[in-house]
Chain A
Amino acid sequence: MPLTLLKAGETVTIRKIGGSDEVRQHLSELGFVAGEQVSVVSESSGNLIIHVKDCRIALDKSMASRIQV
Chain B
Amino acid sequence: MSVILGHAIVILILAVIVFFCGRSVIREIRHELNGGGCSGCGGNCSGCTASCHKTDPKV
**Physical contact A–B (CB less than 8 Å):** no
Interface of A toward B, CB cutoff 8 Å: none
Interface residues of B (CB under 8 A from A): none
